[in-house]
Amino acid sequence: MFLMNYSGNSLLRTNNMTKKALNVGLAVSFGLFSSLATAGFEVVALGVDGGVTDGNLTSYLIRDDSQPLYLALDAGSVLPGIAKALEKGNFPDITDEMAAPLTRQGYIFRQRINSYFISHAHLDHVSGLIIGSPEDSKKTIYASADTIDVLRNYYFNWRVWPNFTDSGSGTRLGTYRMQLVRPAQSLSLGLTRLTGEMYPLSHDKSPSSMLLVSSNNNVFAYFGDTGPDEIEKSKNLDTVWRKLAEKVKQQQLKGMIIEVSYPNAASDSKLYGHMTPKWLLKELKNLEKYSGEGQPLTGLPVVISHIKPSLQQGQDVRQTIATELQAGNDMGVNFILMEQGDRQQF
Residues near Zn ion (CB under 5 A): 50, 122, 124, 225
Report in angstroms the alpha-carbon separations of 171 from 137, 158, 163, 167: 18, 9, 7, 9
CB of 332 to Zn ion, least distance (A): 28
Q: Which CB, 63 or 122, lies closer to Zn ion?
A: 122
Q: Measured between alpha carbons, how far is 64 from 193 in angstroms, rounded to an integer?
A: 7
What b-and-e string marks burial along 81-96, b requiring 16 or more CB atoms within 10 Å of the CB? bbbbbbeeebbeebee
Q: Measured between alpha carbons, how far is 301 from 254 in angstroms, rounded to an integer?
A: 7
Q: Which CB, 225 or 283, lies closer to Zn ion?
A: 225
122, with CB counted inside 10 A (0-12, 13-18, 19+), is buried
Q: Which CB, 243 or 308, lies closer to Zn ion?
A: 308
CB of 204 to Zn ion, least distance (A): 8
**Nearest of 146, 135, 156 to residue 165 by alpha carbon:** 156
Q: Which CB, 84 or 122, lies closer to Zn ion?
A: 122
**Nearest of 127, 115, 111 to residue 160 by alpha carbon:** 127
Q: Which CB, 124 or 283, lies closer to Zn ion?
A: 124
Query: What DSSP character marks residue 49?
Result: B
CB of 297 to Zn ion, least distance (A): 25
For the chain, percent helix, then strand, then coil, each to nearest 5? Answer: 35, 25, 40
Report in angstroms the alpha-carbon separations of 55 from 58, 207, 314, 330: 10, 25, 22, 35
CB of 245 to Zn ion, least distance (A): 26
CB of 242 to Zn ion, least distance (A): 24
Q: Which CB, 76 or 301, lies closer to Zn ion?
A: 76
CB of 19 to Zn ion, least distance (A): 25
